[in-house]
Structure 1
Amino acid sequence: MMVERFEEHLVKDHEAISSLSPQYTQHGGYTLRTRFAVHPGGTLLRIPKESLLNVESECIRNVYPSSLFESLTSIQILTIHMSRMGLGDGSFTDHEQQYLSTLPDDFTFHPLYWTNERLQRLPEQAQKLIHDVQRRYTEDLLAFEGMYEVLKKTRLITVSLVEYHDKFKWAWLIVNTRCLYYPIKGAEKESQLSLCPYLDLLNHSSPTPNTDNLFNSLPKPEIPMREGGYEIINNSDRTIEQDEEITFMYGPHSDDFLLAEYGFALGWQLNAFTEVNITSEVTALVKEDWKRIELEQNGSWGDYTLHLYPSPAWPSQRTLMALRLVCLDDSDASAWREMVNYQVEIVSEENESRARGALAEICQNIARVSREMMQRNKDDSLVCTLWESTYATATQVEDSIKRNVSF
């Protein structure tokens, strides 16, 4: 009922426009579904500027000392504010308190709460991305600890630092998983973001794999610059019928990224951006220093990937370029440079055959490891989902090679 009451508050007190009603799901979260049919061009949801929570909001800008805005990022400031709200450490507006009642209490599903043993069962790329999330969280926690005494002296904080630690992680995940891009004058790019109450209940959805126009096939929140709020309209050419779930794409993200940032994965059948990072496998084949230098100077060192969609499955051009250099017989890279500069399509027929063979062997090894890890993690559906995606991508890229698909 808290979410329903909050929607009523937004419409009545903030003049929000909502064609969507919240529904609680069996998975323990909410979805937003159409209350009635919405025709093309119709407004699905509009949240005005006054409803947002960011560093320009009066409840933040007029409360915290200027030193905070000079020293910390938007994420850090919002996390501190949400921590205080979560602990009830201070007085807050009715709008803030109602918003707080709509937020999840439990984030133990997120990898920030996982054991090291479970993390180590994930594919390498997922582990790297989660490590980056852990690093960012730790940096933001240290930044808060550095400002704790300042906030305590201003009496904005009265609770002990120990009590703040657990709540800070919860608040950091609220901010990290629910913020949207929002233009803030004079702010660094990474600080241009805002919490958008109620709209943040929209779930992520990937475009259907193999659709022609991935980036325009789902609605997305637009920022009406004049008013400064968010709006979602029916930008399709069909009427959205009553009781349809409305979702939007958080970004063109692989399941490794979705797990690291948000704590969920879609699976390879649903995620149009399914990919496997094979940087470790490719760089291990670079035995000569001059080849590494050549790749570095060309800006082509690292970030080698395989992609499942659009089918047939394929390696990135960056990956092919690296493998073609790996398979050169001598130190004369002139033919490879001509290929890189698009003067020729391939280095030579023999080189192309060897590069595709090296890629096929990488795919076979990845598929073998994936099968083993799928079996070992059959009782852990989330970990298994990532290995299934890895297996599907590797085997289908190998199949493309066998069928002599042109990349």
Structure 2
Amino acid sequence: MPHHPHRRWQALLEWLNTHGMPTAPHKLHVVARHRPGAGYGLFATRSIPPSTPLFTVPSTALLNILTLSPHYPVANPPLTAVQLISLHLALYRPLDDEDSLDPLFGPYISVLPRDFAFHPLTWLRKRKNGLSSDVEARLLELLPPAVEEELTKISDKFGVDWKRVSEYLSKHSNIRTRFCRACPNKVEQEMQFLWAWLNVNTRCIYYRIHQSLADPDNLSLCPILDFANHTYDGPHMEPRARNTDLIEPSVKFSPDDEMTLVSPADQTIEADDELYLVYGAHSNKTLFVEYGFVNQVSREILEEGRVAGEVDVQRYVEDLFNKRGCVGGWMKELLTEEGYWGDWTIHSYPKPAYPSYRLITALRLYHVISPQATLVPAAAEGGVKLWRETLLGVREVISIENECEWEKTLVEVCRKVTTEAKRGVLIVKSAEIEGKSGWEMGAQNMISWLWMEEEYVGGAVLKEVEEGALPDGSALL
């Protein structure tokens, strides 16, 4: 049974009401309540039929580049949406348990998460600044290498945004003074901005602002919606804005559009049922480094395909090419030229478990030349021509022999994955992780699950190869 409403819920509704949002009980069918083990969640206040509008947030109450830009000096080049929203949140972060003093979005900012100690990016940035605790440092050591590499990419993306915002602050003394008053030194300023950036990165939704559907600034923070937790396969709400898919040139595009949340299309929601969102069909690696959680599900659920398991095998395959010296370097150039270098993965679903087409393409090229060759033979162009024909769809395979050879190499890769994953699970489970905040044990369990997923997916693909159940290459295009 849900617990008490969020103590700042009423203040949030009163603020939304000033923006013209109907918040009377017969108009608003949800409430944010405490949820054991997950902070807060969004719950239905009554029985709700499928595809029913739950609430509509006016465009003026959405936190995005449109609503913020009039209040900040123009930058050249302009700040991105992520940079500007993050800067605004950093400037108006609530102190301790107080409310935000932001005159624009204070009641909304006041209900955002106060802390991201549990997020792996926090551990990594603290380590970079010499601030990490023993627990945070140990958790980073326990990560699967592919996850750590992906986390480093996220950290680099954050670093770019922080650098750009720092440059902006250096040119606008009044904003810089306000920021420095709360955070006197550079490290404190970075950690303040990290809190803001993580709020944006974990809570923003697609919201069309520009004519181009793919513009990276098409995003927004949306009050109420971000109380909703993630589900990997259950009924979920859908955000809807009229402009989202508008492409008809004769219809004038307007960026000012309210955001409506609609109940699940395939089920009636009963009073006190929790309402969920789907953060996207992401792998656990992505969920962990982007959002700070994983889908911790049983092996049976993985086998049923309700959660699609995925393992990044790039380091194993890249090592194969590196060990071949100049031949491997030549192959890397070919793969890069054709757009197939890197992003090599194996998957447990849809069944049968399979390697990605990108991985098959790389391994086929790997065996165009005998692994024993130390130099690129003059006759290699013939094999490369056949390989390129598989990319163009002219032929399905290079040769039966080539198919057998790359599958043998895939077996070796999968065995390395499962062996390392089994060892990783044991190391994580035996690690002594102590913490006073409560999130530490959960983080340890999530890391253990990341390793277990690698073991399962590696084993599933290995089984399919050994049993000859892999689909042919054309089926993976």
Aligned twin of 1:312? 352
Q: Deviations over 1:70-123 (max 9, x none)?
A: 532221111111112115799533x62221221111210011222444223212
Q: Which amino acid aligns with 1:285?
A: L
Conserved 8 A contact 1:370-1:387: yes
Aligned twin of 2:106? 97
Q: Does 1:293 align with 2:333?
A: yes
Greater alpha carbon shift after TM alignment, 225-234 vs 272-281:
225-234
Aligned twin of 1:387? 451
Aligned twin of 1:214? none
| Closer, same or farther: CA 150–339 of 1 in aligned 2, 3 Å | closer
CA distance in 2, matches of 1:167, 1:35: 36
Q: Deviations over 1:181-226 (max 9, x none)?
A: 2222379822222111111111122237xxxxxxxx7443122237
Q: Deviations over 1:297-353 (max 9, x none)?
A: 222111110011122211111111211221224623233223222222222222212
CA distance in 2, matches of 1:360, 1:302: 19
CA distance in 1, matches of 2:392, 2:77: 45
Conserved 8 A contact 2:93-2:100: no
- Taking only aligned residues, the RMSD between alpha carbons, in angstroms, comes to 2.6
SS in 1 for 2:240: coil
For residue 264 of structure 1, the aligned residue among 282, 285, 293 is: 293
Q: Deviations over 1:345-375 (max 9, x none)?
A: 2222222122111111110111000001100
Aligned twin of 2:206? 181
SS in 2 for 1:18: coil
CA distance in 1, matches of 2:152, 2:211: 30
Q: CA deviation at 1:41?
A: 2.7
For residue 283 of structure 1, the aligned residue among 304, 309, 318 is: 318
Conserved 8 A contact 1:18-1:44: yes
SS in 1 for 2:386: helix
SS in 2 for 1:190: coil
Q: Does 1:142 align with 2:150?
A: no
For residue 84 of structure 1, the aligned residue among 91, 95, 98 is: 91
Consecutive unaligned residues in structure 1, runs of 5 or more: 209-216
Conserved 8 A contact 2:347-2:354: yes
CA distance in 2, matches of 1:201, 1:42: 18
CA distance in 1, matches of 2:413, 2:179: 54
Conserved 8 A contact 1:90-1:156: no
Conserved 8 A contact 1:360-1:401: yes
Conserved 8 A contact 1:152-1:158: no
Q: Does 1:66 align with 2:74?
A: yes
Identical counterparts, % of pairs: 27
Q: Deviations over 1:142-165 (max 9, x none)?
A: 223223244333665561542534
Q: Which amino acid aligns with 1:279?
A: Q
CA distance in 2, matches of 1:300, 1:197: 41
Aligned twin of 1:360? 411
Aligned twin of 2:397? 346
Q: CA deviation at 1:243?
A: 2.5
Consecutive unaligned residues in structure 2, runs of 5 or more: 1-5, 124-135, 244-253, 371-379, 432-443, 472-477
Conserved 8 A contact 1:80-1:168: yes
How many corresponding residue pairs? Answer: 395
Aligned twin of 1:33? 43
CA distance in 2, matches of 1:292, 1:169: 36
Conserved 8 A contact 1:279-1:302: yes
| Closer, same or farther: CA 382–161 of 1 in aligned 2, 3 Å | same
SS in 1 for 2:14: helix
For residue 15 of structure 1, the aligned residue among 10, 21, 28 is: 21
CA distance in 2, matches of 1:117, 1:157: 32
Conserved 8 A contact 1:268-1:274: no
Q: Which amino acid aligns with 2:290?
A: E
| Closer, same or farther: CA 161–66 of 1 in aligned 2, 3 Å | farther
Q: Does 1:232 align with 2:232?
A: no
Q: How does 1:162-181 map to 2 (within 5 A)?
A: 162=185, 164-181=189-206
SS in 2 for 1:71: coil
Aligned twin of 2:361? 321
SS in 2 for 1:171: helix
Q: Deviations over 1:216-259 (max 9, x none)?
A: x7443122237612222235243223332221221221111111
